[in-house]
Amino acid sequence: MPTDRAFETSLERAKEFLGLRRMNRRDLIRFVGGTSGLAVLNVYISACTGQPPAAAAPTSAPPTSAAVPPTPAVATQATAGQPVTGGVLTIGYDAEPDSLNAYTTRLFASTESGIHEGLIVTNDKMEYVPNHAEAVPTLENGGVQLNPMRVTYELRPDLKWSDGQPLTSEDVKFTWQAIVNPNFKRGGFNFGEGYDLIEKVDTPDPRTAILTFKGNYAAYNGMFRALLPKHVLDGKDINTDPFNRVPVSNGPMRVKEWISGQYSQMERNPFYRVAGRPYLDGLTMKFLTATNTRINQLQTGEVQYINQVPWDRMEEIAQFPGVAIQSLVVNSWEHLDFNFRNPTLQDLAVRQAFAMGIDKKSIAEKVLQGKVPVADNVVTPLSWAHNPNVTKWEYNVEKARQTLENAGWKAGSGGVREKGGQRLSFDCVTYAGDALRERVQQVIQAQMREVGIELRIQNYPPNTFFEQVNDGKFDIKIHRWISSAEPGFASFFASDRMPPRGLNNVFWDNAEISKVFDEADREVDQNKRKELLFRAQDILARELPTIPLFYRPNVIATTAKLKNVRMNPTNDGDMWAVADWYLER
Amino acid sequence: MGAYLTRRALGLIPMLIAISAIVFGILHMIPGGPLAVYLENPYITPEQIERLRQQLGLDQPLPVQYGLWLKAFVLGDWGYSFVSRRPAVDVVLERVPATVQLMGAAFVLAGLVALPLGILSALRQYSKLDYFATASAFFGISMPVFWFGLMLQLTFAVWLGWLPSAGMIEIGDGSLVDRLRHLVLPATVLSLLYAARWTRYVRAAMLEVINQDYIRVARAKGLYERSVISNHALRNALIPVITVVAVDVAALFSGAVVTEKVFAWPGMGQLFVDSVLKVDYTVLMGILMVGSAAVLAFNLVADVLYVALDPRIRYE
Amino acid sequence: MTRPASTTTELVAGPLLPTGAVSRRPSSLSRLRRHRLAAVGGLGLLLLALMALIAPLLTPHQFDQMDLDSMRQPPTWRHPFGTDDLGRDLFTRVIYGARISLGTGLCSAAIATLVGTTIGAVAGYFGGWTDNLSMRLVDLMLSIPLLPIVIVISAVMKPTVPVLVLVIGLFGWMVTARLVRSSFLVLKAQDFTLAAQVIGAPPGRIIVCHLLPNAVAPIVVAATLSVGSAIILESILSFLGMGVQPPTPSWGNMLQDAQSTMATKPWMAIFPGLFIFISVMCVNFLGDGLRDALDPRLRV
C-alpha cells in the first residue's frame, strides 16, 4: 500500500511544533502519562481536603402532612425528640424574591413569611391563629361588630421590631395608610380589596387597633399578613426604599444580607416575641432556579432544604440517603376550562363529554405517579367551604360518546364528530415550558380523541398565555388557580368579573351563580356563607364551565435532621412557623 | 485608515441610538408588559392595575416613553427595575463581574484548546487526531449545553464530589481557591461550545494556507516549523477566526443562559431571560444597550485587526 | 459554476488567502478520501431525508401513541430505542423527528447561508457605503435579541414551523456575512481580481466565478455549524411555544423532555442526540466535498 508521504512529513511537523522532535513514541507515552498522572494526583489531593462526604443516615420514612389521599410515598412527620437550639439551615430556593416587603412583592412567594409576621396567620390546618394579635376577632367573641362593621385587634404585650423599637397599634394604622396611599405602587399577592374598604383605623391605646369598614367585608382575617414599621418608613418612598431589600421586621428571622442573584442570609431576631425561638441560628437561602441543580445540591449536601420538587422526581429523591420528603396539597387546583365565546362549547353535551372522557385517575396515577389527588371540585377538601357532595363525573368513554350522539354530534371525517357543519375541533392552550403540564395536556388530547373530539395544541410562554387567554383567543385552556384560605372563587366565575374586570376568562355568563356569589361575599356569618358556597359548587359541577383535574401538592425535600417543618397550604407560605424548626445534632 | 476609524467611531453614537429605538419598540410589543404578572392574581382589581400603569408611566404613547427613557439614559439614569424597584443600572452592572469571570475563563480555555487543536488537525489532516478533533467538535455542537452541564455536574459534583455543584462561592468563604473551584465546571461547559466552533474555523483556515508556496519557501529556508506556522501561516489564517471570536465575545452579555441556570451563576444571561419573561423594560434596555455597544466595539476591533494582519486590505 | 475561460485567471487564481500557486497538490490518496467522505456525507443525508419522508412505512407505532403503562422503558425488541415519558416509542419519534429537525436545520441554514453570503459578498466587493451600510445592518441584527422577537411573533401570529425556520434563518446570517466580507476584502486586493476587472468581467461574474469559490471554506464551516445550532435552537424556541407543538416530535424537543431523567434514563437523550450528531457530520462532509469541488487549486 503506497504510503502517503504527506502524512509522514506532517507528523514530523506536528512533533516539531510541539517541541517533541527528539522524542520517540516510547518517550512520548511516558511524558504524557507522567504529566497526566501528576494532574490526577493533584486533583485528588485537593478533593480530599474538600468537603467531607455526606454522613449516611438511615433513610427514614418520608414524612408528610397531606390531609388528602392518596400519596403513597409519604407518612406523618415525626416531631418526637427535644428541640435543639443552633445551626444554620441552607435552603435551595427556586426563585429569587423581587422584594422582601410583603406588600411590594409580586410573587406568590413565601420567603418573607419567615421574616415578617402579621396580626393573623393561617396555620397548616387552614385555621386562623393569632400571631401578633392576641386573639382572632370574630362575631362570636365580640371582636367583630356589625353596622358599621368594626374589627378590633388587641396586640400582644411587649412586641418589638428587629431593631429593638416597640411595635404598637400605630404600626397597624401606618400599614393601612401606606397601602392605600395613592402613590404606593402596590406589589402583589398579599393584599386584597379589603384595605380600600377600611374607612378608618383608630388606635385608642398602643395595643389596640380598631378597623372600621365601609361595608361588610367577609375576608377581614386575610389582611395584615405583615406590618410595616412606622418609625422606619414614615415619610419615605416605600416603593424604592432599601427597606425592600433589608427590611426591619418582626418575625423569627431578620435579614442580614441579600446578595443579588446568589443568596440571602437571615439570622435569628433577638427581639422576637417568643422567648427561646427560633431554634435555628439562621437561614441561608440560595437561589437555584434550575430544578436539576437544586436536586443535585441536596444530594451533595450543599443545601439541606429544597422547594418545588417536581412530582415525577419524588421517588428518586426519597432514595437519597438522609433525605426526607414532605408533600402538602395546597389551595391550588389544575383545571381544564372552556371558552364560552365559542358557540360549540356552549352545548352542555360537549362539556359533559369532556368530563366523562378525561380519565383523571389514570393521569394522576401514571403520568403524575400517584402524587396528586384527583379533583372533582374547585375548592380543596382542606377548606371549610368544601362541598363533598357535588356531582362527580366518572370516566366513561361509552357514555361520553353516547351523550354526543344523542345531542346530534355524529362521527365525521378523521374521527372528529360534527353537527351542522361544525366540527368538535378545538385549540387547546397551556403554558409552554412546563413539562408535566404539557404531558397532561397530551394525554388529555389522546383521551378526547377516543370520544371523537380533536384538540389542537398551541402553547405560550406564561406572560403571553394570560394575554391571549384574557383576549379570548383560545377554545380550551389548562392551567391552575391559586387561592387563599378564603374561598374566593367568585372572581373566576361571576358574570361581572370577565376580563379586564376580573378573572372570569371562561367568559361564562350565568345569572344564577353570580347572584349566589354576590350574597356570599357579603355574608359574614360563616355558616350561612358555607351554605351559599356549597350551592355555588353544585352549580359549577352541573354546568361545567370548568373541569377540575387535580389538586396540586407542594413538595419539599429536606435533610432528615430538620424537624418540625409544617408546610402551609395557603399563601402564608411554608415558613410561617420557621420559629419551630430545628436541626438535630 | 485614520479617516476610516474616525468615521466608524463617530458613527457609533447614532448607531446606538437607532438600535435603542428599534429595540425599545420591539420590547413594547411583547404582550402584557411588566403588569401581566397580575393577570393571574385574583386579588388585584383592574382599576388597581390601571392605576399602577399610570403611576409607572406605561399609559403614555410609545414615542413619549422612548423620549423620556433616552433623555434619562444618556444622563446615566437607567430608571428603576419594574420587578425589584431598584435602579436598573445597579441591577445590570452588578452582574458584570460574574459574567466577565465566567465568559473570560471560558474564552481563555476555548482558545487554549481550539488554536493548537485546529492547527494540529490541519497539519495532520485525516489522521486519528484529526478525526478525534472533528468528532469532538461535532459532539460539542450536537449536544446542547444543558446536557453537558448536567453530566459534568453529576459526575464531578454529585458522584465524585470533587467540585461544588453550583454557585459562585461557598458562603462564608470566598477565597481565590474557592472561587476557582466554583468556576471550573461552568467555564468548562461553556468553553466546550466555543472550542468546538473555533477549532473548526482554525482548521479550515489553516488547511487553506498550509499548502501555499510561501509556506514551502519558509520551510525551505530552514525555519523551525513552529516559526513557520506562527509567523507565516497563522497570521493569514486568523482573519476568519477573528471574525467569529469577535461576534462570540460580543454575545457575552446575553450568552451563557443555560450554563448560568444549571450552575446558578449570577450572570447577565439569566438576568436577561428573567427580564424578558417578566418584561422588565428598564433592565432589558440596560442589558441590550450594553450588549449592542459591545457588538459595535468588537466588530470595529475586528475590522482594525484585519488590516493589521493583512496590510493589503483597504477600506474606502 | 463554469470554468473560467482564460487560463491566466486560472493560474493566478489563488486560495482564500495570500496568493501563490499550489506547490504541492494533495496526493491522489487524499483526494480519493475526500471524495469518499463527501459521498458518505451526501448518502447519509439522503438516507436521513428518505427516512423522514417514508416514516410511516418504517415505524410500527404512531408517534403519538401513548402507553401509560410502559413509560420510560429502556430499549427492547418492541421498542428499539426505548420509550419516553408517556410511553411513546422513541424509535418512531426519532424518525418522525427527522422531518422537523432535519427540515428546520437544513432550511434555516440554507437561508442563513444564502442571505449571509449575498450580503457579505456585495459588501466586501463594492466596499464604501455598501460595505458600511451592510455592516451596520449586521451590527443591528446582532444587537437585536432573539428571545423577545420570538415571544412577540408567537403572540401576534400562529407560530408554525415555517415561521420558525424563517426566524432562525434571518437571525443566523450575520456571521456568514462577516466571514464572506472579510474574505472578499483580502481577495479583492489580489492580482487575479484586478486581472478579471481589467479584462472587463462584470462584477457579478467576478464575485460568483472568481471570488466566491475561493471564499468557500469558512462558509462551509459556518453552514455546518448553523445546521447543528438551528436544530438546538428549535428546541429552545419550542420550549417557549414557538414552532413545533406537542405531540409532534423533533430531536431538539426530545432532548428537552429528557432533561429531568438524564442520569437515570439516558437513552431518552442519547438517540436524538446521536441523530443530530450524524446529521451534522453528514452536512460537514458534504460541505467539504463542495469546497473541494469549487476549489480552483484542485482543478488544474
Distance from CA of B314 to the nearest CA of C (A): 7
Residues 6+ positions from B191 with CB-CB distance below 8 Å: B105, B106, B107, B108, B109, B110, B113
Residues 6+ positions from C273 with CB-CB distance below 8 Å: B142, B143, B147, C251, C255
How far is Cα C219 from Cα C242, in angstroms, rounded to an integer? 28
Q: Considering only CA atoms, which of A249, A101, A227, A267 is closest in space to residue A162?
A: A249
C-alpha cell read off for A332: 391550588
Could you say which residues from 85 to 114 on chain B have a Cβ atom under 8 Å away from some Cβ of chain A?
85-86, 91, 94-95, 98
A170, with CB counted inside 10 A (0-12, 13-18, 19+), is middle
Residues 6+ positions from B311 with CB-CB distance below 8 Å: none
State the pLDDT at residue A569. Answer: 82
> Does residue B91 or residue C58 have the better pLDDT?
B91
Q: Is residue C119 part of a domain?
A: yes
> Does residue C155 or residue C54 have the better pLDDT?
C54
Question: Looking at chain C, how many residues does it have?
Answer: 300
> Does residue A96 or residue B1 have the better pLDDT?
A96
Is B144 in Cβ contact with C178 (below 8 Å)? no
Q: Determine the 3-state secondary structure of A202 from DSSP.
A: strand
Residues 6+ positions from A154 with CB-CB distance below 8 Å: A133, A134, A135, A207, A208
Taking only the tens place, the pLDDT of each residue in C180-189 is 999 998 888 8
Instruction: Tell me which of A104-118, B97-111, B275-289, C11-25 is least confident.
Output: C11-25
Is a pLDDT exceeding 80 seen at residue C194?
yes
How far is Cα C266 from Cα C254, in angstroms, rounded to an integer? 12
Q: Is residue C13 part of a domain?
A: no
> What is the pLDDT confidence band of residue C28, given thresholds at 50, 70 and 90?
low
A291 contacts chain B (CB < 8 A): no
> What is the pLDDT confidence band of residue B316, given thresholds at 50, 70 and 90?
low
State the pLDDT at residue C33. Answer: 66
Taking only the tens place, the pLDDT of each residue in B85-110 is 889 999 999 999 999 999 999 999 99
How far is Cα C34 from Cα C14, in angstroms, rounded to an integer? 20
Is a pLDDT exceeding 50 seen at residue C18?
no
CA-based nearest residue in chain C for residue A5: C27
> Does residue B224 or residue A163 have the better pLDDT?
A163
Is C228 in Cβ contact with B23 (below 8 Å)? no
Distance from CA of C13 to the nearest CA of B (A): 12
State the pLDDT at residue A41. Answer: 36
What does pTM read for this prediction? 0.82
AA letter at C218: P
Under DSSP, the state recorded for A312 is G
State the pLDDT at residue A187. Answer: 62
| Residues in A touching B229 (Cβ below 8 Å) | 17
How far is Cα A462 from Cα A469, in angstroms, rounded to an integer? 11
Q: Is residue C19 part of a domain?
A: no
**A–C interface: beta-carbon pairs under 8 A:** 76
> Do B174 and B146 form a contact (C-beta atoms < 8 A)?
no
Determine how β-strand A422-423 pairs with β-strand A417-419: antiparallel
| Residues in A touching C245 (Cβ below 8 Å) | 456-459
How far is Cα C259 from Cα B73, in angstroms, rounded to an integer? 41
- Write the DSSP string, C184-230: HHHHHTSHHHHHHHHTT--HHHIIIIIIHHHTHHHHHHHHHHHHHHH
Query: Across the interface, which of C144, C269, C280 has its CB nearest the CB of B138?
Result: C280
AA letter at C47: L
C-alpha cell read off for A24: 520517540
Is B254 in Cβ contact with C145 (below 8 Å)? yes
How far is Cα B299 from Cα C139, in angstroms, rounded to an integer? 8
B220 contacts chain A (CB < 8 A): no
A260 contacts chain B (CB < 8 A): yes
State the pLDDT at residue A12. Answer: 52
> Do C234 and C164 form a contact (C-beta atoms < 8 A)?
yes
Q: How many Cα neighbours within 13 Å face the side chain of C287?
A: 25
Is a pLDDT exceeding 50 seen at residue B215?
yes
Q: Specify the residue for cell string 443568596.
A: A263
Task: For chain C, give the percent of residues with pLDDT over 90.
Answer: 18
Question: Looking at chain B, how many residues does it have?
Answer: 316
Q: Is residue C75 part of a domain?
A: no
CA-based nearest residue in chain B for residue C175: B244
Q: What is the CATH number of the domain that holds C241?
A: 1.10.3720.10
State the pLDDT at residue A122. Answer: 85
Determine how β-strand A546-559 pairs with β-strand A323-338: antiparallel
Taking only the tens place, the pLDDT of each residue in C206-220 is 888 888 888 888 898
- Which residues sit opposite A374 in a β-bridge? A550
Is a pLDDT exceeding 60 seen at residue C204?
yes
- pLDDT tens-digit profile, chain A (585 residues): 444 444 444 445 545 544 444 444 444 444 444 444 443 333 333 333 333 333 322 222 222 333 333 333 333 444 557 888 989 999 999 888 888 888 887 776 566 678 888 888 888 887 889 989 999 988 888 888 888 889 999 999 989 999 999 999 999 999 999 888 877 876 665 555 678 888 999 999 999 999 999 888 877 887 888 889 999 999 888 888 888 888 998 999 999 999 888 999 999 999 999 888 899 999 999 999 888 899 999 999 999 999 989 988 898 899 999 999 999 988 888 999 999 999 999 999 999 999 999 999 999 988 888 889 999 888 888 788 888 888 889 899 999 999 999 998 988 888 888 888 888 999 999 988 788 888 999 999 999 999 999 999 988 887 778 888 888 889 999 998 877 666 767 778 888 877 767 778 888 888 888 888 888 877 777 788 888 888 888 988 999 999 999 998 989 999 999 999 999 887 778 888 899 999 987
Average pLDDT for B298-312: 88
How far is Cα A45 from Cα A37, in angstroms, rounded to an integer? 12
B32 contacts chain A (CB < 8 A): yes
How far is Cα C208 from Cα C205, in angstroms, rounded to an integer? 5
H or E element, residue B238: helix B234-250
Q: Is residue C144 part of a domain?
A: yes
How far is Cα C50 from Cα C56, in angstroms, rounded to an integer? 11
Domain count, chain C: 1
Is A366 in Cβ contact with C69 (below 8 Å)? yes
Distance from CA of C156 to the nearest CA of A (A): 10
C-alpha cell read off for B113: 484548546
* CATH number for the domain formed by residue range(s) B96-266: 1.10.3720.10
- CA A357 to centroid of chain Cα atoms: 29
Is B151 in Cβ contact with C178 (below 8 Å)? no
Give me chain B's average pLDDT, please: 87
C194 contacts chain B (CB < 8 A): no
CA-based nearest residue in chain C for residue B314: C185
B143 contacts chain C (CB < 8 A): yes
Q: Is residue C48 part of a domain?
A: no
Q: Is residue C190 part of a domain?
A: yes
Distance from CA of B85 to the nearest CA of C (A): 22
State the pLDDT at residue A28. Answer: 44
- A55-78 in b/e burial notation, b at 16+ Cβ within 10 A? eeeeeeebbbbbebeebebbeebe
Query: Across the interface, which of A17, A188, A260 has its CB nearest the CB of B266?
Result: A260
What distance separates the 2 farthest-apart alpha carbons in chain A?
Answer: 107
Radius of gyration from C-alpha coordinates of chain B? 24
CA-based nearest residue in chain C for residue B288: C143
| Residues in B touching C138 (Cβ below 8 Å) | 299
Find the Cα–Cα–Cα–Cα dihedral A460, A462, A466, A472, rounded to 10°. 10
C-alpha cell read off for A496: 361581572
CA-based nearest residue in chain B for residue C128: B316
State the pLDDT at residue C133. Answer: 92
Distance from CA of C15 to the nearest CA of B (A): 7
Is B270 in Cβ contact with A261 (below 8 Å)? yes
How far is Cα A256 from Cα C204, in angstroms, rounded to an integer? 69
Is B162 in Cβ contact with A50 (below 8 Å)? yes
Q: Considering only CA atoms, which of C97, C115, C252 is closest in space to residue C170?
A: C115
Is C246 in Cβ contact with A457 (below 8 Å)? yes
Distance from CA of B299 to the nearest CA of A (A): 30
Domain with C273, as residue range(s), is: 105-300
Ramachandran angles phi, psi of A550, nearest 5°: -155, 165
Distance from CA of C32 to the nearest CA of A (A): 12
C132 contacts chain A (CB < 8 A): no
Chains with at least 3 CB pairs less than 8 angstroms from chain C: A, B
| Residues in A touching C259 (Cβ below 8 Å) | 292, 435
Query: Across the interface, which of A46, A288, A466 has its CB nearest the CB of B39?
Result: A466
Under DSSP, the state recorded for A213 is E
CA-based nearest residue in chain C for residue A365: C68
C-alpha cell read off for C133: 451600510
How far is Cα A288 from Cα A303, in angstroms, rounded to an integer? 10
Could you say which residues from 245 to 274 on chain B have a Cβ atom under 8 Å away from some Cβ of chain A?
261-264, 266-267, 270-271
Q: Is residue C55 part of a domain?
A: no
How far is Cα C174 from Cα C113, in angstroms, rounded to an integer? 9
